[in-house]
């Protein structure tokens, strides 16, 4: 299925609010080094829900990621961080076809959970025992559906315990040090 919906009116989350829950030291580091690339904040509870979803399947599975884009300016300029807030699992995921196929329910569910400052910021899927990397199909999916500066792609191999993140339309790898977990609470 193709996502042809017009993008809703979405906007960046200001720094003052976006770095809530991040320790002062980490916040300083984020501000200093986000000049090169944005940080990704992945709360532990979202990671857990992603893991519990993909561990239920022996085959590739995935879904959408909702989140906030933390910026000093706009969604295109001055992106400091991308804070994942929720994972929406797809019950009907097929990554083997030429383009990404997720059941329509995942898109409508994402829409229901979206707001002006919390929206689809990417997608995740699993590569059980294949290693965590972006295949040619994954790159195409990223370029076609997740091509904004703030769009991330997460791939996890739950068996080999590997994970990789990619950013934007060219699927630029995001180094591990730019992924920050946020403890529960
Ligand atoms: Zn893949």
Tell me how far the alpha carbon of residue 5 lies from the centroid of ligand 1, in angstroms. Answer: 24
Tell me how far the alpha carbon of residue 155 lies from the centroid of ligand 1, in angstroms. Answer: 7
* 79-89/119-126 β-pairing: unpaired
pTM: 0.86
Type and span of the H or E element at 139 = helix 136-145
pLDDT band at 29 (very low <50, low <70, confident <90, very high): confident
From the CA atom positions of the chain, what is the Rg in Å? 15
Q: Compute CA distances 19 → 79, 106, 181, whole Å.
A: 12, 28, 13
Tell me how far the alpha carbon of residue 14 lies from the centroid of ligand 1, in angstroms. Answer: 33
* 62-71/79-89 β-pairing: antiparallel
- As a whole number, the mean pLDDT across the chain is 87
Residues 106, 143, 116, 64, CA torsion sign: positive
Q: What residue spans define the domains of the chain?
A: 13-182
Residues 140-154: what's their mean pLDDT?
94
Residues 53-65 pLDDT 10s: 999 988 889 999 9
- CA angle in degrees (0–180, nearest 5) for 150-99-12: 15
Residues 70-97 pLDDT 10s: 988 888 778 999 999 999 999 777 766 5
Residues 4-28 pLDDT 10s: 555 568 898 888 788 888 888 788 7
pLDDT of res. 122: 97
Tell me how far the alpha carbon of residue 12 lies from the centroid of ligand 1, in angstroms. Answer: 28
Tell me how far the alpha carbon of residue 60 lies from the centroid of ligand 1, in angstroms. Answer: 8
Tell me how far the alpha carbon of residue 22 lies from the centroid of ligand 1, in angstroms. Answer: 31
Tell me how far the alpha carbon of residue 38 lies from the centroid of ligand 1, in angstroms. Answer: 23
Residues 25-36: what's their mean pLDDT?
75
Residues 165-175 pLDDT 10s: 999 999 999 99
Count of Cβ atoms closer than 10 Å to residue 33 Cβ: 14
Tell me how far the alpha carbon of residue 122 lies from the centroid of ligand 1, in angstroms. Answer: 14
Tell me how far the alpha carbon of residue 126 lies from the centroid of ligand 1, in angstroms. Answer: 7
Token pair 């995935």 is at which residue? 62
Fold of 13-182: Cytidine Deaminase; domain 2 (3.40.140)
pLDDT of res. 150: 95
Tell me how far the alpha carbon of residue 23 lies from the centroid of ligand 1, in angstroms. Answer: 33
Count of Cβ atoms closer than 10 Å to residue 105 Cβ: 13
Tell me how far the alpha carbon of residue 74 lies from the centroid of ligand 1, in angstroms. Answer: 30
């Amino acid at each position: 299925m193709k996502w042809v919906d017009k993008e809703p009116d979405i906007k960046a989350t200001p720094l003052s609010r976006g770095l809530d829950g991040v320790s002062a030291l980490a916040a300083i580091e984020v501000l200093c080094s986000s000049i090169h690339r944005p940080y990704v904040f992945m709360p532990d509870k979202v990671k857990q829900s992603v893991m519990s979803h993909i561990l239920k399947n022996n085959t590739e599975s995935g879904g959408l990621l909702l989140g906030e884009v933390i910026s000093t300016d706009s969604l295109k300029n001055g992106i400091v961080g991308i804070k994942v807030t929720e994972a929406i699992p797809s019950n009907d995921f097929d990554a083997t076809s030429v383009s990404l196929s997720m059941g329509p329910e995942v898109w409508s569910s994402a829409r229901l959970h979206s707001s002006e400052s919390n929206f689809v910021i990417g997608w995740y899927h699993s590569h059980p025992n294949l290693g965590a990397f972006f295949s040619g199909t994954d790159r195409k999916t990223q370029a076609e559906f997740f091509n904004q500066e703030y769009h991330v792609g997460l791939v996890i191999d739950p068996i080999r315990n590997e994970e990789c993140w990619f950013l934007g339309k060219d699927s630029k790898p995001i180094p591990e040090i730019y992924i920050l977990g946020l403890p529960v609470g």
